[in-house]
Amino acid sequence: YQPIWYTSIKINIFWFSSLFIICCVLQVFKLITSLPGLDSEVGFKQYSDYITVGDTNEKRLFYWYMESQSDPTTDPLVLWLNGGPGCSSFGGLFEELGPFYVRPNITLGRNEYSWNRIANLLFLESPAGVGFSKSTDPKDYRTNDNTTATDSLNFLLKFLQAFPHLKSHDFWMTGESYAGHYIPTLVQKIMEHNSQFPADQINLKGIMIGNPLTYLTINNGGVTDYVYSHNLIANETYQGIKKYCNYSFPSGGGEIFDQAKCNKYSEDSATEMGTINPYDIYVDVLIHIQGYIESKGKLGSPYYPCQDSYTSKYLNDPLVQKAIHADSTSWEDCNMEINIAYSKADVAQSMLPIYTNSILHHGLKVLVYSGDVDSVVPATATRRCINELNLPITSKWRYWTDSDGQVVGGYTEVYDGLTYATVRNAGHEVPSFQPMRAYDMFTRFI
Amino acid sequence: YQPIWYTSIKINIFWFSSLFIICCVLQVFKLITSLPGLDSEVGFKQYSDYITVGDTNEKRLFYWYMESQSDPTTDPLVLWLNGGPGCSSFGGLFEELGPFYVRPNITLGRNEYSWNRIANLLFLESPAGVGFSKSTDPKDYRTNDNTTATDSLNFLLKFLQAFPHLKSHDFWMTGESYAGHYIPTLVQKIMEHNSQFPADQINLKGIMIGNPLTYLTINNGGVTDYVYSHNLIANETYQGIKKYCNYSFPSGGGEIFDQAKCNKYSEDSATEMGTINPYDIYVDVLIHIQGYIESKGKLGSPYYPCQDSYTSKYLNDPLVQKAIHADSTSWEDCNMEINIAYSKADVAQSMLPIYTNSILHHGLKVLVYSGDVDSVVPATATRRCINELNLPITSKWRYWTDSDGQVVGGYTEVYDGLTYATVRNAGHEVPSFQPMRAYDMFTRFI
């Protein structure tokens, strides 16, 4: 497995003068030399580009790679993947764990809790059709877990060939939400690749996934319990869903199943909850109001409630698209067409067998975490998924503290092969709602 | 039932010159003419004093009465009672719903969501031994629900005799926590009084109680479910408490009871939760740190995490004690001796029969509300208490919005005779954590 262009670069490097090498390295690496709206020095190198994936080379996945603010030559390489399916990881870059966020006046602010303070960060827009990633063949926009993982592996191999010095670095995969599917399936592909090509190993050390969709059936049951126990829905609505929806545990079951009644009670549930933010049930939200307020609800967070519209404005600025070497495109945080076309069978599939067969006890460090005020992929559901794995507990449930050693940042339980942690008062996008706690957790994990 | 001194005041008013009347009215009413630390005009009249209660006149209950900022001549009279048992209602005045709060430099700030914007507010320190209330007989510090309610009724009658123009006003009783006992038992006493003395009615219109302790057994079970469903404790700790603690529902039951194992799992639960604020599980707390940060966690709230220490400093200032006509005393927010000496049998007693027999369907408007992030008297427990009443639902669970009509302020369900409401993202002391939402709810209720 050696793509032609990689071989040719090696030849280039070997045969031509140093001046020519610098020229070509720049061309391949596509350095971001300036970013509109930034009023200070970046302080680290960053690159962004398309990498062609798939058999026909019609698919091009776009990435943004930024070096560590500490020691890029030794710090680990960390891949970040947002979920959806259909959501861009640049949402994560600008609204969660990256070094910049977009201010209401569409200039860039700096996030002091950026994960690239200690790691080389790689944000990948995946699959094709998401963000700046695209294909010339519309068929490529009908995707599933297997095509996404295959393309992502292909991307990773080519990326590591373009940045060969990173091959020896520890490699970690992180992400959230539907990355609960992306990451396990990609681990599987990497494991297969590593065993097929022992000389071309991807140096995967571990994975860290937040509020992950692991098994839709368990999740749906967990959501029901979560919204009821958090006093968002009526008693009878809860009882109705429990009675008529087929949200049985794999190990449980026995409920009566009635799709029409299930739908009715599920709709009641949504109506009763009202216009809260289901991704953070306690955060203040603005609805039908022009303008914004600062989200003071979360200590140390620089993010605004309408952050996604600022991010979108920024990434759709032609000057920004030019600066990051992207084609002139309409960038969307989440592409609903991609989402809708995604294999529903795969969305419903359980990732638990992949944990058992390919992730646990394969030398990987595994952290699954939950922001505990998310009702969409709630902690209750994730705890149930972990219970289904039947792993021995090696360190019982306890609280962990923020880096000041005083305040409870969340809770953790360690199992044989897997650590689970919650982040207190964090919504679905944990680093966005609790940047300091997310950063603390990240630094302690990798 | 006409205490001597009331009769003598009437004689005074009748017989003596207007100059003398003004002198005596001032003496009885004990106007607060100035408050240390206030840099603006109060804008309303306020009075504070002792009123002697009980048979022997050794007990003196202290109150602070403040007129409405709207129309004190027609606005309702609202009594506020904090719980404990043993906690002063002046904690509520300065940290929840009163017009002032104490700033870190021990000056007074103004709470724009004070309930006296629309009501005449009466804060009573009860029972004797709490706050400035006291007795010359130490035996009076061993109290229970009956003595407390009897003394409070005695206080109310004398207060209304001292402020006779208020007798015709609508009268409401409000409070929180252990006021879940104080208020129902006081309703009972008032009902008895009103039927015994038809010519001397207390014009009670309704009650409004927040995060009320209604029945300790149900509450303990509700706490267990709450802390588990909010992901604060381990699976096995939850199962242990469920199995070994006798927190059965009155209508349920059947659990195995083992006090030693129950204690062990309950201690595990407390250890696992760690140093969070159980009265608001998501608020940021400071532990072992000198100084403070502003509690930015709650929209519109002027309160600081260390608010109670500022309140305590203020009320222990000799100039303040003099200004409010209090004896020179060491004021405490909560008196633990009073708390410990309070009848444990009464604390364990269910208030549900009082709701059924004396509160519901007696022409009273009843609102029970819960701040939904309190784990001490959680919404889950209060909902169960209400379920035990078996009242028909007249308006199904729905969300209610803040006064701007946009943001979900909480949820409500209306039963025949009782309204239940939650306040979203509010802790145990609802008006402290969510002043705007508490004020909105109050204005819509009375």
Give per-residue pLDDT as tens, B417-437: 999 999 999 999 999 989 999
Helix (H, G, I), strand (E, B) or coil at A91: helix
The answer to whether B28 touches B162, Cβ cutoff 8 Å, is yes
Helical (H) or strand (E) element with A27:
helix A18-29
Domain boundaries, chain A: 31-218+303-445, 233-273
Q: What are phi and psi of A410, to 5 degrees?
A: 165, -160
Q: How far is CA A394 from the centre of its chain?
A: 27
> Which residue of the set A169, A181, A193, A428 is catalytic?
A428
Q: What is the pLDDT of residues B355-382, one digit of tens each?
A: 999 999 999 999 999 999 999 999 999 9
pLDDT at A415 over 90: yes
Q: Binning pLDDT at 50, 70 and 90, where does residue B402 land?
A: confident
Q: Binning pLDDT at 50, 70 and 90, where does residue B334 land?
A: very high
Cβ atoms within 10 Å, residue A363: 8
Fold of A31-218+303-445: Rossmann fold (3.40.50)
Q: Binning pLDDT at 50, 70 and 90, where does residue B299 land?
A: very low
CB pairs under 8 A between A and B: 119
Q: What is the structure's pLDDT at A400?
A: 95
Cα(B238)–Cα(B268) distance, integer angstroms: 10
Mean pLDDT, all residues of chain A? 88
Cβ atoms within 10 Å, residue B150: 18
Amino acid residing at B117? R
Q: What is the structure's pLDDT at B296?
A: 34
The answer to whether B431 touches B99, Cβ cutoff 8 Å, is no
Q: What is the pLDDT of residues A375-414, one digit of tens each?
A: 999 999 999 999 999 999 999 999 999 887 778 999 999 9
Most confident of A395-409, B166-180, B287-301: B166-180
- The answer to whether the Cβ–Cβ distance between A411 and B272 falls below 8 Å is yes
Would you call B226 an interface residue with chain A, using a CB distance cutoff of 8 Å?
A: yes
What's the alpha-carbon Rg for chain B, to the nearest Å? 22
Residue whose pair of structure tokens reads 């710090």 in the numeric block:
A75
Q: What is the structure's pLDDT at B406?
A: 75
Mean pLDDT, all residues of chain B? 88
pLDDT at A20 over 80: no
pLDDT at B4 over 50: no
On the question of a cis peptide bond just before residue B85, with omega within 30 degrees of 0, the verdict is: yes
Q: What distance in Å separates residue A218's CA from the closest CA in chain B?
A: 15
- The answer to whether the Cβ–Cβ distance between B380 and A229 falls below 8 Å is yes
What's the alpha-carbon Rg for chain A, to the nearest Å? 22
Q: What is the structure's pLDDT at A28?
A: 60
Q: Which residues lie across from B334 on neighbouring strands?
A: B87
Q: CA B17, B57, B3 angle in degrees (round to 5)?
A: 45
**DSSP assignment of A64-89:** EEE--SS-TTTSPEEEEE--TTTB-H
Would you call A284 an interface residue with chain B, using a CB distance cutoff of 8 Å?
A: yes
Would you call A372 an interface residue with chain B, using a CB distance cutoff of 8 Å?
A: yes
Q: How far is CA A224 from the centre of its chain?
A: 24
pLDDT at A310 over 70: yes
As given in the structure block, the two tokens for residue A57 are 């080379």
SS3 per-residue string spanning chain B:
CCCHHHHHHHHHHHHCCHHHHHHHHHHHHCECCCCCCCCCCCCCCEEEEEEEECCCCCEEEEEEEECCCCCCCCCCEEEEECCCCCECHHHHHHHHHCCEEECCCCCEEECCCCHHHCCEEEEECCCCCCCCCEECCHHHHCCCHHHHHHHHHHHHHHHHHHCHHHHHCCEEEEEECCHHHHHHHHHHHHHHHHHHCHHHCCCEEEEEEECCCCCHHHHHHHHHHHHHHCCCCCHHHHHHHHHHCCCCCCCCCCCCCCHHHHHHHHHHHHHHHCCCCCCCCCCCCCCCCCCCCCCCCCCCCCCCCCHHHHHHHHHCCHHHHHHCCCCCCCCCCECHHHHHHCCHHHHHCCCHHHHHHHHCCCCCEEEEEEECCCCCCCHHHHHHHHHHCCCCEEEEEEEEECCCCCCEEEEEEEECCEEEEEECCCCCCHHHHCHHHHHHHHHHHC
The region of weakest confidence among A389-393, B135-139, B151-155 is B135-139
Q: What is the pLDDT of residues A75-126, one digit of tens each?
A: 999 999 999 999 999 999 999 999 999 988 999 999 999 999 999 999 999 9
- Report chain B residues whose CB lies below 8 A from the CB of A411: 231-232, 272, 274
The answer to whether A433 touches B297, Cβ cutoff 8 Å, is no
Nearest to A372 among B231, B296, B425 (CB): B231
Residue of B nearest to A410 (CA): B232
Q: CA A183, A189, A190 angle in degrees (round to 5)?
A: 85
Helix axes B4-15, B145-162, angle to 10 degrees: 10
Using a 10 angstrom Cβ sphere, with 0-12 exposed, 13-18 middle and 19 or more buried, the burial of residue A235 is middle
Residues of B catalogued as catalytic: 177, 374, 428
- Report chain B residues whose CB lies below 8 A from the CB of A408: 273-276
Q: What is the structure's pLDDT at B333?
A: 93
Which residue of B227, B230, B437 is the best one to mutate when testing the A interface, meaning the one whose CB has the most A CBs within 10 A?
B230
The answer to whether A423 touches A442, Cβ cutoff 8 Å, is no
Cα(B366)–Cα(B372) distance, integer angstroms: 19
pLDDT at A252 over 60: no
Helix (H, G, I), strand (E, B) or coil at A263: helix
Cα(B367)–Cα(B443) distance, integer angstroms: 12
Strand B134-135 to strand B77-81: parallel, antiparallel, or no bridges (unpaired)? unpaired
Helix axes B4-15, B18-29, angle to 10 degrees: 150
Cα(A372)–Cα(A210) distance, integer angstroms: 11
Helical (H) or strand (E) element with A28:
helix A18-29
As given in the structure block, the two tokens for residue B161 are 């005799």
> Which residue of the set A88, A177, A269, A432 is catalytic?
A177
- Report chain B residues whose CB lies below 8 A from the CB of A396: 234, 236
Torsion angle of alpha carbons B371, B373, B377, B383, nearest 10°?
A: 70
Residue, of A297 and A139, whose pLDDT is higher: A139
Nearest to B407 among A237, A271, A284 (CB): A284
Fold of B31-215+308-445: Rossmann fold (3.40.50)
Q: What is the pLDDT of residues B251-276, one digit of tens each?
A: 344 556 788 999 999 999 999 999 88
Helical (H) or strand (E) element with A414:
strand A408-415
Cα(A88)–Cα(A429) distance, integer angstroms: 13
> What part of B 230-259 touches A (C-beta under 8 Å)?
230-237
Q: What are phi and psi of A171, to 5 degrees?
A: -120, 130
Cβ atoms within 10 Å, residue A59: 25
As given in the structure block, the two tokens for residue A261 are 């009644």
Q: What is the pLDDT of residues A21-57, one digit of tens each?
A: 444 444 467 999 999 999 889 999 999 999 999 887 7
Report, as an integer, the average pLDDT of B200-229: 96
- The answer to whether the Cβ–Cβ distance between B399 and A288 falls below 8 Å is no
Q: Which residues lie across from B208 on neighbouring strands?
A: B174, B367
Residue of A nearest to B273 (CA): A399
Report, as an integer, the average pLDDT of A183-210: 97
pLDDT at A72 over 50: yes
Give the residue among B281, B423, B301, B298 at the shortest CA–CA distance from A295.
Answer: B298
Q: What is the structure's pLDDT at A258?
A: 83
Could you report the predicted ipTM of this complex, rounded to two decimals?
0.87
On the question of a cis peptide bond just before residue A138, with omega within 30 degrees of 0, the verdict is: no
Q: Binning pLDDT at 50, 70 and 90, where does residue A283 land?
A: confident
Nearest to B232 among A272, A284, A411 (CB): A411
Q: What is the pLDDT of residues B5-51, one digit of tens each?
A: 333 333 333 333 444 444 444 446 799 999 999 988 999 999 999 99
The region of weakest confidence among A419-433, B136-150, B249-263 is B249-263
Q: What is the structure's pLDDT at A297?
A: 35
- Report chain A residues whose CB lies below 8 A from the CB of B373: 282
Report, as an integer, the average pLDDT of B119-144: 96
| Distances B306 to B102, B130, B309, B312 between C-alpha atoms, Å | 10, 21, 6, 10
- First-residue to last-residue Cα distance in chain B: 29
Helical (H) or strand (E) element with A47:
strand A46-53
The answer to whether A100 touches A36, Cβ cutoff 8 Å, is no
Based on the residue annotation, tell me whether A230 is a catalytic residue of this protein: no
- Report chain B residues whose CB lies below 8 A from the CB of A281: 424
